[in-house]
Amino acid sequence: MQRFFENEIDHELRRQMLAYGERHDLQTGLLNYVAFQDSLAALMRNTVPGREIALVWIEVLNLRREFALWGSRGAEALITRVCEALRAAVDPGALIGRYSARCFLVALEAEHFDNRERRRIQAIMDALAPMQVLGTRSMIEVAAGVAFWPADTVSSEDLVRFASLAASRAAYIRSSTVLAFRSGMNHTLMRDHQLETEMVRGMAQKQFRIVYQPKVEAATGRVLGAEALIRWNHLDWGAVTPSEFIPIAERSDLIQLILEFTMSTALKDVRQWAQHGVSLPLLAINVSWANMRRNDFLRSMRRLLDENPVDGTQVELEVTESVLFDDEDLFAARVRQLKSMGLRIAIDDFGTRYTGFNVLKRLPLDAMKIDRCFIHGVHRTEEARSLCQTIVAMARQLKLRSVAEGVEQRAELDAIREVGCDAMQGFLIQAPVSAARMADFLREWPESARRAELFDSTDKKPGSRILNMPARV
């Protein structure tokens, strides 16, 4: 008999534990996602009309790093700490759940989420963010997004989704930020997703092509090289600019496809030009940090160069200045490895992020491209001229070739020449053109430059259109 009861208790306990496990996260005891959704839907049904609900999605940003540093014990300590702090920071009756390993959900109710009520949400973050984790002594790093019911949506599922969207934006900005959902975020997400799928299709359907823009020496007009720029002509949308699709491509492997396409197409074009007697001293390729930081980056560069050998043309990689702020050490290592492969490196869009002399001094760079915004109207004010002069002086001090980007007017060319800028690129000389038109440009440029009277000393002798690069170029 005794044994029968023991079995019954055992059975009942097991049933209850299983039922509990179905609705709870066993590590923290919080509601799991399914149970949270049920409770949220019930809360919406039972909330007195006129009252509002704020759904907060809290994302722990340093969970993966904690795991990498300390293993599962460190990750568990971090989650336990977040959970304790969350429980302490919200009212006892508030709904708290765990969506995934690093995401927590909190539902708060109020008469109306005015500024004072919104501060309650920020207070949760303020309670979490300065905390240290016991044992590892790491700081908790969190970002949060919030969506409001019924203002943003009346669906419980969308409420969670919208808060998660806002949280991913907040995480992008910086730790301990809370962002409220805006309807534009949903639209942006959908558009990004659509762009990504269309890009894959576009690649397969050969909607992408490469155009070239020449770089010339500022003093003489000699052609120093050309920059390869990608173009996308979508069947229905028409031209989509690189500024729209490159940032999306950078979030996935698509950026690797773009690099491979740009580089192999450009190297093939250079070889074709050479077969027709037109040589290009320098081919510039834009490379994203999303390419460079990959483990297989150097291997893929080597493969691309091996598969598309060119004689007599150096390849320069243009990398935007912002990479220096992402991971300076990794960037420095990559630059050294690329240099040992015979490649040249230029800092693109210089001046937009205020990189200091000391950072640049440590890197074996070759060129500095001065961002368009410093060139536009450079001749108009003494201040603009002087700023440009300082950048050029800095480049010279660092033994880098200075290149002015986006020169559109004769007066801008005169100004950059006066301040000693080495080279230039821009619509004044040539807008980006197809490979065939680039070959024509290389053939005809000395004559057209003479006619345009842009340069005093452009070499006019036949056969010497493209001269050797000067020592520093």
* Binding residues for ligand C2E (CB under 6 A): 213, 229-230, 241-243, 246, 258, 262, 286-288, 318, 320, 348-349, 372, 405-408, 425-427, 432
Q: How far is the CB of 426 from Mg ion (least distance, A)?
A: 11
The tokens for 329 are 């050490």
Q: How far apart, in whole angstroms, are the C-alpha atoms of residue 260 and residue 258?
A: 5
Neighbour count for residue 87 (Cβ, 10 Å): 14
The single residue among 153, 286, 425, 458 that binds Mg ion, judged by CB under 5 A, is: 286
The residue type found at 180 is A
Sheet of 103-110, strand order: 95-100, 103-110, 52-60, 142-149, 178-180
The residue type found at 70 is W
Q: How far apart, in whole angstroms, are the C-alpha atoms of residue 257 and residue 250?
A: 10
CA triple 294-299-304, angle to 5 deg: 110
Grouping H, G, I as helix, E, B as strand and the rest as coil, residue 123 is helix
The reply to whether 402 sits near Mg ion by the rule CB under 5 A is no
Minimum CB distance to ligand C2E smaller for 402 or for 425: 425
* Residue 262 binding target from Mg ion, ligand C2E, none, CB below 5 to 8 Å by type: ligand C2E
The reply to whether 349 sits near Mg ion by the rule CB under 5 A is yes
Say which residue the tokens 């009861």 belong to.
5
Q: How far is the CB of 167 from Mg ion (least distance, A)?
A: 32
Q: How far apart, in whole angstroms, are the C-alpha atoms of residue 286 and residue 371?
A: 14
The single residue among 348, 366, 412, 422 that binds Mg ion, judged by CB under 5 A, is: 348
Structure letter (DSSP) for residue 129: T
Minimum CB distance to Mg ion smaller for 374 or for 455: 374
Q: Partners of 217 in the beta sheet?
A: 423
Write each residue from 245 to 284 as x if it is in contact with Mg ion (CB under 5 A), else as -, in one continuous string: ----------------------------------------
Phi then psi dihedrals of residue 74, to 5 deg: -65, -45
Q: How far is the CB of 218 from ligand C2E (least distance, A)?
A: 14
Question: Stretches 259-267, 289-297, 378-386, 399-407: which one binds Mg ion (CB under 5 A)?
Answer: 399-407
Minimum CB distance to Mg ion smaller for 141 or for 405: 405
Q: How far is the CB of 442 from Mg ion (least distance, A)?
A: 19
Say which residue the tokens 């969670």 belong to.
160
* Residue 66 binding target from ligand C2E, Mg ion, none, CB below 5 to 8 Å by type: none
Q: How far is the CB of 320 from ligand C2E (least distance, A)?
A: 6
Catalog residues that contact Mg ion under the rule CB under 5 A.
286, 318, 348-349, 405
